[in-house]
Amino acid sequence: MRRVLVANRGEIALRVIRACRELELESVAVYSEADEPALHVRRADQAICIGKPAARRSYLNHDALIDAAQRSGADAVHPGYGFLSENAEFARRCETAGVIWVGPPASAIEQMGDKAAARALAERSEVPVVPGSDGAVAPENAVAAAEHIGYPVMIKAVGGGGGTGIRVARDQDELDRGANEAAREAEAAFGNPALYLEKLIERPRHVEVQVLADQSGQVIHLYERECSLQRRRQKLLEESPSSALTPPKREEMAAAAVRLTEAAGYRSAGTVEFLLDGAGGFYFIEMNTRIQVEHPVTEMITGVDLVKEQLRIAAGESLGISQASIVPDGAAIEFRVTAENPDENFRPSPGQVTRLELPGGPGVRVDTALYDGYSIPPFYDSLVAKLLVWGRDRDEALARGRRALEEFVIEGIDTTIPFHRRMLDDAGFRRGDYHTEYLSELSLT
């Protein structure tokens, strides 16, 4: 492996380019017509325009990306997160074109991308799942399935992702309405209206386990990330360790994640997501077969560079790290900064950055593709920066978070920085006492 095409944009494209540099791999950026001034274009060794601003005419265009790989002589493709990162068809196209896919085998993407199939594999691997339907549920069988599980239930899209295609139903009326809405939403977003049902876990914690697997099938885990601070089922802030886990629970959950990863024939970096209920039980919900937005949280407490590991594994190297060598140290928190106004219901706020001052100092990391004067195009995800802080313990991380958010200045657009400052003053959050419904309940009061 010598030259890697980075099939993404924004901070994650920069993240991959940085890993390539450190491994002395050449990087090839791709960009849409709207992204000519973007930082990833300048930071890569070469850059190729792949089409119009709309993602389906550029970053999601299989032909344009394969063509760019071939024209640039790239021998590998790193998809980042979002876009084509969980697209088995594209992963297979890369393999047939003789280009290394920096990710799991297409078969593992397919199996885990079908969330009902992933649940079935978890059950066969003795990994607890949320009680729910056996596989996908046809619309005419939904009522019987919900009654069998018992209300309230969660209606979920088999092909879902990014919090899309999910509805809560507390009775049959809500089930009829919710199933219709979820199917329509899922059809539009994933081209697949199939649904399944799960028991609704009230006020759960979302805790996920990072795994790495090499070509020889060796699997290790890198402990957990607490991702319960969510808005509309999307993560706003993540941290590690999770204050919801006792040491034995942590080991049990990590072992379950490793079992499932082995059963899936998985390779590369991946994340096994679980929900925790109030009684201390944990239940598998899905596996994300890609690098995640919040991966730096794990990098900060383990010192492992997950993107470099992905590249090494893709090149056929075996894992250079043993399970015993992973000793988590301290506490880390990630604040997702998006171009949205938190005081106006998170209304998107693209536009020109007229002033940018990044925080720094001990224990601070900023992953961003912003620069002074940059104009954020309106076509893509609203994430513009990730602020990470590390401390020897959670209190030190919280203090650093507060200090770094004070230093962080982005003018010209609205961002979620003020929201994060307020979270750091919230007593429940400071105690580590929160769940996935926490924010929606806060805004009611």
Residues lying near ligand ADP in the complex (CB under 6 A): 81-82, 86, 130, 154, 156, 160-164, 166, 190, 198, 200-201, 204, 206, 230, 233-235, 273, 275, 285-286, 288, 292-294, 381, 436
| Backbone region of residue 332 per phi and psi (left: phi > 0; alpha: psi in -120 to 50; beta: other values) | beta
Please, what is the minimum distance in Å from the beta carbon of residue 128 to Mg ion?
17
- Residue 59 or 374 with smaller CB distance to ligand ADP: 59
Please, what is the minimum distance in Å from the beta carbon of residue 163 to Mg ion?
7
Residue 296 is given by DSSP the state H
CA distances (Å), 152 to each of 72, 199, 213, in order?
53, 6, 37
Residue nearest to ligand ADP according to CB distances in the complex:
161
Q: What is the dihedral of CA 295, 300, 301, 306, to 10 degrees?
A: 40
- Residue 164 or 368 with smaller CB distance to Mg ion: 164
Other CB atoms within 10 Å distance of the CB of residue 225: 26
3-class DSSP state of 409: strand
- Residue 374 or 380 with smaller CB distance to ligand ADP: 380
Residue 79 contact, options Mg ion, ligand ADP, none, Cβ 5-8 Å cut-off depending on partner type = none
CA distances (Å), 158 to each of 25, 139, 165, 310, in order?
37, 13, 9, 27
Is 267 one of the annotated active-site residues of the chain?
no
Please, what is the minimum distance in Å from the beta carbon of residue 61 to ligand ADP?
15
3-class DSSP state of 326: coil
Q: Which residues 273-292 are close enough to bind Mg ion by CB under 5 A?
A: 273
- Residue 28 or 158 with smaller CB distance to ligand ADP: 158
Q: How many residues bind Mg ion (CB under 5 A)?
A: 1
Round to the nearest angstrom and report the end-to-end CA distance of the chain: 55
Q: Which stretch binds Mg ion (CB under 5 A): 187-195, 271-279, 327-335, 392-400?
A: 271-279
Using an 8 Å Cβ cutoff, are 132 and 196 in contact? yes
Catalytic residue among 43, 290, 312, 336: 290
Residue 227 exposed, middle or buried by CB count within 10 Å (0-12, 13-18, 19+)? buried
Please, what is the minimum distance in Å from the beta carbon of residue 206 to Mg ion?
8
Residue 235 contact, options ligand ADP, Mg ion, none, Cβ 5-8 Å cut-off depending on partner type = ligand ADP
Read off the tokens for 105: 């085998």
Question: Where do contacts with Mg ion occur on this chain (CB under 5 A)?
Answer: 273
List residues with catalytic annotation: 290
